Chain A
């Protein structure tokens, strides 16, 4: 027989004013299995807790029900008290007679409240009788981190984790780390040169003894759970031996073939063996296989002939490497909406219509024009440039209803860069609203308008076409209610920021959520902004949504601090509210596997002594299981149960109703 103690709290007068706690206590003494019952003014106070502990010892209680406030309030307090008195904390249950009884039923005769408190307490007692003692689950933690994406957010996260004393694997898709930030000329609102602040960090990451960088590599798969992930990384063939290459650049110089440069966004050409930009990290070239005549047709091989250390290897193939890590930071960044989607602005038809990132390259001193603003068609210095904001953003017709957030700022920056380089030039900006929320941001846009002479026109552009070597922009100026036609030399579109191509595939590989725009979902958008539903996987940077550099850096650091907090202990303790399978009765229908939102259910093979597979059954991975119980309700043969919320407990509570 159970030995249960029941403690009815008066909560000062909060409960007592509408519940006769003494009568509840007396009533509970009649319930079979209850050996002790009392009421007290403040159960959560130290004397109250002491009383509870003493009663546990004195009456040899094996279970405790506290009828008091919501379990969300003091369940932990009372479970802790029980634990210190030698009782398993999960043999303590709370009946909520304050928030869900005394505070919502204002009957001063105490009749209503007392009847309901009796019921609630009785239901909890019956439930408690079936509570099994549970133990916190300890999971070992592998203290190495994986960072996916080598842009500024990923670099920051990797550096912070490495500085915290932990090893980091940094995986980057491109031949160099640096991401989109490496493309920028200057950064708002300080106007410092992007590469000047980024490249030292890139080098620091490269030289850091605890950071291992895989460039030209992609994450193929992730198995495991928090603290114990195994990641498969595809190292794409570079056709250059990284160990042997010294980065002298002789091969690049001598390569006779060229292809369009991805880094320069098609504004320039690069060699077929190349590094994306001169400060690339690592400074090891890769061969663009589809354009290499040696790889395709077996002719040429100039690079191999001129390579001193014999690092060129045309036989190299993709390689899959496995790494074991305890946490993952996803920092895959953003792309611009594909240009072809803006036919109305002449994109793809008119050479002198470019996007914001292309303008960054034109303004960059390491760019295709050496930092001079020259238009792509004929290399002429443009006398006037029209900037169009919200191209694709805030436009349901283009499928993007959100604001891309950084365009107002970078367009203001572009007008300034243009003015600084072409003093006689005139910049026009078509905008919908100016959104310059951020430290020193509003002042920055005011400067562009008031001091640097950019003409801001509030309205949309209806048409862009070519006329006599000029690009004519027709639009509306809604503030003066007039039609505007501007003959410009160049047009720059602030195209929408969208998620990376393949962002959804990666999310599925990692088991994290994404929204309709394929931006990754935070665990909670406000309170847990760098965590994901898959414990141990964190987010940083523009893969979550459009954001600027300071935000990406903060998020990188925040994710790193989460990782370091996880790595601060050898083992991670977690609540034992997890599902479990009765393996002897499981008939392997896999309904649970399909239902589980966390992929916590695994197929387990049962073998006989000869090593032959006899049968299969489901198994719950306790490290992954979050304890929702969806599988329990889905199981047809009723062989899965949820610790802390077993069928037995629930039915007992219902029966006491």
Chain B
């Protein structure tokens, strides 16, 4: 954590804040959509790091907290469109959890603009590119997620 904080300060002092985005995606739709963006040689912001899971239904809300704790400035969750889930209903579970979790996050004091949820299918490479670019821009405007450290100390 310390090393990261040092590099973060260096980065910020140079004036160019580059947000770190963690993306939790499902194996069947969004991961394949991101692959398609690659095979189509599209270009998008490099700020995202992907964690592949079988299904968005596998995502434990604690993963998101953990991502923030490890220095993410923004978190993205993306899976198959409603009705297209490889596991028939996994994404519905993810959606329900997401709704409950967002209110909790808001209650804790986390800016909801740092949290994004999307459906990206295996054919929507362009949507993936736009999504990453938009999320990166939005989080960049918000600046580094410094409040999280404050929150952590408060606990």
Mask for B38-62, Cβ within 8 A of A = 1, else 0?
1101111010011111110111110
Contacting A at CB under 8 A, from B69-88, are 70-72, 86-88
Stretch from B29-37, B106-114, B138-146 contacting the other chain? B29-37
- Asked if A630 and B90 make an inter-chain contact with CB atoms under 8 angstroms apart, the answer reads yes
Q: Does B134 lie at the interface of the complex (its beta carbon under 8 Å from any beta carbon of A)? A: no
- Which of B39, B44, B54 has the most CB atoms of chain A within a 10 A radius of its CB? B54
Known contacts A104-B37, A597-B90: A654-B58 contact under CB 8 Å: no
Stretch from A95-103, A182-190, A269-277, A556-564 contacting the other chain? A95-103
Rounded to whole angstroms, the CA-CA distance of A655 and B61 in the bound complex is: 15
Contact of A650 among B43, B46, B55, B63 (CB under 8 A): B63
Rounded to whole angstroms, the CA-CA distance of A72 and B26 in the bound complex is: 13
Stretch from A116-124, A166-174, A358-366 contacting the other chain? A116-124
- Asked if A655 and B38 make an inter-chain contact with CB atoms under 8 angstroms apart, the answer reads no
Q: Does A507 lie at the interface of the complex (its beta carbon under 8 Å from any beta carbon of B)? A: no
Q: Does B97 lie at the interface of the complex (its beta carbon under 8 Å from any beta carbon of A)? A: yes
Stretch from A209-217, A303-311, A621-629 contacting the other chain? A621-629
Mask for A67-106, Cβ within 8 A of B = 1, else 0?
0001110000000000000000000000010111101111
Interface residues, chain B, with chain A CB atoms under 8 Å away: 20, 22, 31-32, 34-35, 37-39, 41-44, 46, 49-55, 57-61, 63, 66-67, 70-72, 86-90, 93, 97, 129
Q: Does A595 lie at the interface of the complex (its beta carbon under 8 Å from any beta carbon of B)? A: yes
Contact of A104 among B42, B59, B71, B97 (CB under 8 A): B42
Q: Does A383 lie at the interface of the complex (its beta carbon under 8 Å from any beta carbon of B)? A: no
- Which of A72, A112, A116 has the most CB atoms of chain B within a 10 A radius of its CB? A72
Known contacts A100-B50, A633-B58, A647-B60: A657-B72 contact under CB 8 Å: yes
Contact of B54 among A98, A101, A105, A645 (CB under 8 A): A645
Contact of A99 among B35, B61, B63, B66 (CB under 8 A): B35
Known contacts A72-B35, A630-B90, A632-B60: A654-B54 contact under CB 8 Å: no
**27 interchain pairs, CB-CB under 8 A:** A96-B35, A99-B34, A99-B37, A100-B50, A104-B37, A105-B46, A107-B46, A115-B46, A119-B49, A120-B49, A123-B49, A577-B54, A626-B87, A627-B54, A628-B55, A628-B87, A628-B90, A630-B55, A630-B93, A632-B60, A633-B58, A633-B61, A642-B58, A650-B63, A654-B66, A654-B67, A654-B70
- Asked if A654 and B38 make an inter-chain contact with CB atoms under 8 angstroms apart, the answer reads no
Contacting B at CB under 8 A, from A617-641, are 626-630, 632-634
Query: Which residues of B have CB within 8 Å of A116?
Result: 46, 49
Query: Which residues of B have CB within 8 Å of A627?
Result: 54
Rounded to whole angstroms, the CA-CA distance of A533 and B87 in the bound complex is: 8
Rounded to whole angstroms, the CA-CA distance of A76 and B72 in the bound complex is: 32
Query: Which residues of B have CB within 8 Å of A112?
Result: 46
- Asked if A104 and B60 make an inter-chain contact with CB atoms under 8 angstroms apart, the answer reads no
13 additional A-B residue pairs with CB within 8 Å, beyond A70-B31, A72-B32, A595-B93? A70-B35, A98-B38, A99-B39, A104-B44, A113-B46, A115-B46, A513-B88, A533-B88, A632-B60, A642-B54, A645-B54, A654-B70, A655-B66
Mask for A575-608, Cβ within 8 A of B = 1, else 0?
0010000000000000000010110000000000
Query: Which residues of B have CB within 8 Å of A657?
Result: 20, 22, 49, 67, 70-72
- Asked if A99 and B49 make an inter-chain contact with CB atoms under 8 angstroms apart, the answer reads no
Known contacts A627-B54, A630-B93: A654-B32 contact under CB 8 Å: no
Query: Which residues of B have CB within 8 Å of A99?
Result: 34-35, 37-39
Nearest Cβ distance between residue A600 and chain B, in whole angstroms? 11
Nearest Cβ distance between residue A60 and chain B, in whole angstroms? 29
Q: Does A653 lie at the interface of the complex (its beta carbon under 8 Å from any beta carbon of B)? A: yes
Rounded to whole angstroms, the CA-CA distance of A627 and B27 in the bound complex is: 12
Rounded to whole angstroms, the CA-CA distance of A123 and B23 in the bound complex is: 13
- Asked if B38 and A103 make an inter-chain contact with CB atoms under 8 angstroms apart, the answer reads yes
Rounded to whole angstroms, the CA-CA distance of A225 and B19 in the bound complex is: 47
Contacting B at CB under 8 A, from A139-192, are none
Question: Which chain A residue lies CB-closest to B32?
Answer: A72
Query: Which residues of B have CB within 8 Å of A70?
Result: 31, 35, 38
Question: Which chain B residue lies CB-closest to A657?
Answer: B70
Nearest Cβ distance between residue A372 and chain B, in whole angstroms? 50
Query: Which residues of A have CB within 8 Å of B129?
Result: 104
Known contacts A99-B39, A633-B97: A628-B32 contact under CB 8 Å: no
Query: Which residues of B have CB within 8 Å of A72?
Result: 31-32, 35
Nearest Cβ distance between residue B11 and chain A, in whole angstroms? 11
Q: Does A651 lie at the interface of the complex (its beta carbon under 8 Å from any beta carbon of B)? A: yes
Nearest Cβ distance between residue B76 and chain A, in whole angstroms? 13
- Asked if A103 and B39 make an inter-chain contact with CB atoms under 8 angstroms apart, the answer reads yes
- Asked if A630 and B57 make an inter-chain contact with CB atoms under 8 angstroms apart, the answer reads yes
Rounded to whole angstroms, the CA-CA distance of A653 and B49 in the bound complex is: 10
Nearest Cβ distance between residue B135 and chain A, in whole angstroms? 15
Query: Which residues of B have CB within 8 Å of A533?
Result: 88
Query: Which residues of B have CB within 8 Å of A626?
Result: 87
Question: Which chain A residue lies CB-closest to B51?
Answer: A653
Query: Which residues of A have CB within 8 Å of B70?
Result: 654-655, 657
Rounded to whole angstroms, the CA-CA distance of A59 and B70 in the bound complex is: 32
Query: Which residues of A have CB within 8 Å of B58?
Result: 628-630, 632-633, 642, 645
- Going nearest first, the 4 A-B pairs with the smallest beta carbon separation are A99-B38, A629-B58, A628-B87, A630-B57
Nearest Cβ distance between residue B138 and chain A, in whole angstroms? 19
Rounded to whole angstroms, the CA-CA distance of A629 and B60 in the bound complex is: 10
Rounded to whole angstroms, the CA-CA distance of A116 and B39 in the bound complex is: 18
Nearest Cβ distance between residue A511 and chain B, in whole angstroms? 10
- Asked if A106 and B43 make an inter-chain contact with CB atoms under 8 angstroms apart, the answer reads yes
- Which of A70, A533, A628, A629 has the most CB atoms of chain B within a 10 A radius of its CB? A628
Question: Which chain A residue lies CB-closest to B72?
Answer: A657
Query: Which residues of B have CB within 8 Å of A120?
Result: 49-50
- Asked if A654 and B42 make an inter-chain contact with CB atoms under 8 angstroms apart, the answer reads no
- Which of A104, A112, A119, A655 has the most CB atoms of chain B within a 10 A radius of its CB? A104
Rounded to whole angstroms, the CA-CA distance of A71 and B25 in the bound complex is: 14
Query: Which residues of A have CB within 8 Å of B51?
Result: 123, 650, 653-654
Query: Which residues of A have CB within 8 Å of B38?
Result: 70, 98-100, 103-104
Question: Which chain B residue lies CB-closest to A638?
Answer: B60
Rounded to whole angstroms, the CA-CA distance of A119 and B47 in the bound complex is: 11
Question: Which chain A residue lies CB-closest to B68?
Answer: A654
Question: Which chain A residue lies CB-closest to B41?
Answer: A103
Query: Which residues of A have CB within 8 Å of B43?
Result: 104-106
Rounded to whole angstroms, the CA-CA distance of A626 and B28 in the bound complex is: 13
Nearest Cβ distance between residue B50 and chain A, in whole angstroms? 6
Rounded to whole angstroms, the CA-CA distance of A276 and B71 in the bound complex is: 74
Contact of A629 among B35, B49, B54, B66 (CB under 8 A): B54
Rounded to whole angstroms, the CA-CA distance of A100 and B57 in the bound complex is: 23
- Which of A100, A123, A634 has the most CB atoms of chain B within a 10 A radius of its CB? A100
Rounded to whole angstroms, the CA-CA distance of A446 and B28 in the bound complex is: 46
Query: Which residues of A have CB within 8 Å of B71?
Result: 657
